[in-house]
Copies of this chain bind each other. A is one copy, B any other.
Amino acid sequence: MLVTLTTDFGASGRYVAQLKGVLYSRAPGVTVVDLSHGIAPQDIAAAARLLEAAATYWPAWTVHLAVVDPGVGTDRAIVAIEALGQRFVGPDNGLFGWLVGRVEGCVALSRERLALAGDSSTFHGRDLMAPAVAMLLKGSPLSELGTPHPALRTLPDGVAPQVDSEQIEGHIVEIDRYGNLITDIYQRLLGDAPRDERLRVLIGEHETYGLWRTYGEHPPQTLFALVGSDGFVEVALVNGSAAEMLLARVGDTVRLDWRDREV
């Protein structure tokens, strides 16, 4: 029985310590593994990217619990999902938008069925989501946890990459220590797009063609794009810093298109 945790609870440790206590109490024998508690406060998109990159590497039926929840106290649903042979629990606020179209089952957790003591709690991760995770681990089907939840929320355009028929518009979300530009465009979004030089990659007024799998085989100071080993499109400069060359910053737009082009 495996559970992963992804939260923005950060450093103090009290919230994570309580959450884990409940999981170990309600699901004896469970193994709880931290994916990250260092998600920036309320950065739903960053948590979604981490889950997207990691989930399918985990054993079948692992439960991924994600608590990045700026809407606590509002009426946003808390959901349990079956998708990709994995299970997910967390608020329906865009965290799981990348699963849309691949969901095998999804329910909104019912406070009544999960036997919460009233409505007073301000820590749904501990008092509602963790008990739901424990029920899943003990074999409860989704239908015991709540009622069908037909449509997951996606991240708004401008936050999530926007995918059109022959174009994807994403963003730089991280600049690594080598000056490589990491985008939020996960390889799955590429679909049938060509990987060769018919694909154009635009960063501001700069462009490069094709997606590569490794950092090798380009002359020094060449700008090129690749699918990084964690599955996201990156832009790099051979023996240099793409960030410095392009004066690029986190948040800048990166566009891939493959319209009207021949090789």
Seen from chain A, the residues whose Cβ lies within 8 Å of a Cβ on chain B are 2, 4, 11-18, 20-22, 24-25, 28, 31-33, 35-36, 38, 41, 49-50, 53-59, 62, 73, 120-123, 126, 174, 177, 213-216, 228-230
Of B20, B58, B174, B229, the residue contacting A12 (CB under 8 A) is B174
What are 12 sample pairs from A and B whose C-beta atoms fall under 8 A apart? A11-B36, A13-B50, A14-B53, A17-B53, A17-B57, A18-B53, A24-B31, A32-B33, A41-B177, A122-B214, A122-B229, A126-B229
Pairwise interchain contact A50-B122, C-beta atoms closer than 8 A: no
Pairwise interchain contact A22-B57, C-beta atoms closer than 8 A: yes
Pairwise interchain contact A2-B24, C-beta atoms closer than 8 A: yes
Q: Chain B's nearest CB lies how many Å from the CB of A159?
A: 18
Pairwise interchain contact B58-A21, C-beta atoms closer than 8 A: yes
> How far is A21 from B12 in the complex, measured between Cα atoms in Å?
25
Pairwise interchain contact B13-A33, C-beta atoms closer than 8 A: no
Given contacts A12-B36, A14-B50, A122-B228, 8 further A-B pairs with CB under 8 A are A12-B174, A13-B36, A15-B229, A21-B58, A25-B57, A25-B58, A28-B59, A120-B213
> How far is A120 from B73 in the complex, measured between Cα atoms in Å?
47
> How far is A220 from B54 in the complex, measured between Cα atoms in Å?
41
Pairwise interchain contact A57-B18, C-beta atoms closer than 8 A: yes
> How far is A220 from B185 in the complex, measured between Cα atoms in Å?
40
Residue of B nearest to A32 (CB): B33
Contacts of A228 in B (CB 8 A): 122
Contacts of A33 in B (CB 8 A): 20, 24, 32
> How far is A122 from B178 in the complex, measured between Cα atoms in Å?
15
Residue of B nearest to A8 (CB): B177
Contacts of A230 in B (CB 8 A): 14-15, 18, 123
Pairwise interchain contact A31-B28, C-beta atoms closer than 8 A: no
Contacts of A214 in B (CB 8 A): 73, 120, 122
> How far is A31 from B1 in the complex, measured between Cα atoms in Å?
12
Residue of B nearest to A176 (CB): B12
Contacts of A28 in B (CB 8 A): 59
Contacts of A121 in B (CB 8 A): 213, 229
Contacts of A20 in B (CB 8 A): 33
Known interface pairs A14-B230, A230-B14. Does A213 touch B57 (Cβ–Cβ under 8 Å)?
no
> How far is A36 from B18 in the complex, measured between Cα atoms in Å?
12
Q: Chain B's nearest CB lies how many Å from the CB of A78?
A: 15
Pairwise interchain contact B54-A14, C-beta atoms closer than 8 A: yes
